[in-house]
Amino acid sequence: MSHAAENSAAATAVLREVKPASLPRPLLVENGRSYGWITDKICGIIEGKTPAWWWWCFIVACFVASWTVAGITYLVSTGVGVWGHANPVNWAWDIVNFVFWIGIGHAGTLISAILCLLRQKWRTSINRAAEAMTIFAVVCAGIFPVFHVGRVWFAWFLFPIPNYNSIWQNYRSPLEWDVFAVSTYATVSVLFWYVGLVPDLAILRDRFFNAGRKVRSFIYGLFALGWRGSNRHWSNYEMAYVILAGVSTPLVLSVHTIVSFDFAVSLLPGWHTTIFPPYFVAGAVFSGFGMVLTLMLPLRVIFKLEDLITQYHIDCMCKIALATGSMVGYAYIMEFFIAWYGSNPYEGFAFINRAFGPYAWAYWIMFLCNVITPQLFWFKKLRRNLVAVWIISIFINVGMWFERFVIIVTSLARDFLPSSWGYYSPSIVEIFTFFGTFGVFSVLFLLFIRFLPIMPMAELKAVTPQADPHAHHGHGKH
């Protein structure tokens, strides 16, 4: 005890001398909102009447989603040749779209898992919606490889289910690793999301019960599992949550790593590089934050969530986009450097061809969107201009789609033999199938914001100043 007292006396003396500036932590919930206000705000979105804009958006989203349904129906009834793939470009928009959507999902897991482990409390107001985004993005991603196999009714051959050929899957193939990575990712993301939802579903169960809406109360109650806010439960719950965050962190890093192995393990110049795993992961997080910003900024305005998604949250998201965008830019430049430094003429050609060959237009769109535009986030003034932030987030989405296009298509279109070179253009079926997935995503996301709490209420309450039981006796250590 006396030791501790001596230390604290010494610390006070030092503090008196150096006169540290007081740097208040930014508030995560502004305007001193109470617990009850948070509950009413988030639950009110679900309990209120369905707004007209929701119906308009939903109808448009359903219409757009029907393009994917139509495209897929036509493909299944005709054959995979209705997509524009032909030698030498046998992977094109389908794999581009797959990698694009999977990448978008990564921000959700990053926010819910990695930022949880790093105790970044600002994650609380955006993690629910970002996790929902992850799940819906994985749904959209899954469509493409499943239908690219051609005979989709054999897609179950990808999984280790005994079949009449008695042949098992080839586990030496990164494509098979991908099956496990993506299906594990989808499953764990859903579990993580659901576990986070349980306490909030219990709130809705009680509120609907008190409002006399018994059917809704029953349905929410069924999924709330009888949650009653017991602290003995919270103790296990928090432990489970942190372990899930702990296993989701290596998971999210491994998923895009394994997606990049689909390319890096092949021998094709432009794909066969060791930089791919970290570069793909950084790109995935970058694109995901682009999408989080695209979704959260309108939600914040529509539902008047300014006290919960503060300027500080937006600053944080912009800064992560800036950091990962800079990593991606570094990777682009490093790829060129290694292509030159490695002295492999095929590798060198692949990169010169990317920047100055027939697909140069795509390369420079990618470069502009991914390397130049996020650099604008260095400026505080720009981060505070939400319209500008939203427009930049769209640029990031576009740029990251082009990144995958550039990697996949340019490398395949100019492979080893000039006699088999080609130029790939998408067919109308591919175009509609891809743009339709934005409809599929929007339909799911609209249903989510209508029926589920878009923010984790329990976690938000826990980061308010009044939640700290020690707040009354100063800011000492405990």
218-257: which residues touch another protein (CB under 8 A)? 221-222, 225-240, 243-244, 247-248, 250-251, 254
Q: Which of 170, 215, 381, 417 binds another protein (CB under 8 A)?
A: 170
Shortest distance, position 454 Cβ to another protein, whole Å: 17
Q: Token match 């990618």: residue? A: 366
117 binds another protein (CB under 8 A): no
Task: Please count the residues of this chain forming the interface with another protein, following the rule CB under 8 A.
Answer: 71
180 binds another protein (CB under 8 A): yes
Nearer to another protein, 149 or 222 (CB): 222
Decide: helix, strand or coil at residue 200: helix
467 binds another protein (CB under 8 A): yes
202 binds another protein (CB under 8 A): yes
Q: Crossing angle, helix 174-210 and helix 231-264, to 10 degrees?
A: 150
x-marked contacts with another protein along 282-301 as a string, rule CB under 8 A: --------------------
184 within 8 A of 175, measured Cβ to Cβ: no
- Alpha carbon distances (Å) from 12 to 1, 92, 187, 470, 471: 17, 65, 51, 21, 20
Q: Token match 């998201």: residue? A: 317
Shortest distance, position 176 Cβ to another protein, whole Å: 7
Q: Which pair of structure tokens corresponds to residue 342?
A: 């490695």
Interacting span for another protein (CB under 8 A) from 146-154, 217-225, 301-309, 317-325: 217-225
Neighbours of 301 (CB within 10 A): 13
Nearest to 28 by CA among 309, 296, 315: 309
| Rounded CA separation 324/370 (Å) | 10
193 binds another protein (CB under 8 A): no
- Alpha carbon distances (Å) from 181 to 133, 162, 262, 421: 18, 20, 12, 33
Q: Which of 28, 29, 39, 270 binds another protein (CB under 8 A)?
A: 39
Nearer to another protein, 449 or 457 (CB): 457
Shortest distance, position 238 Cβ to another protein, whole Å: 5
Neighbours of 315 (CB within 10 A): 17
74 binds another protein (CB under 8 A): no
What phi and psi values does residue 89 have, to the nearest 5 degrees? -95, 85
Nearer to another protein, 22 or 166 (CB): 166
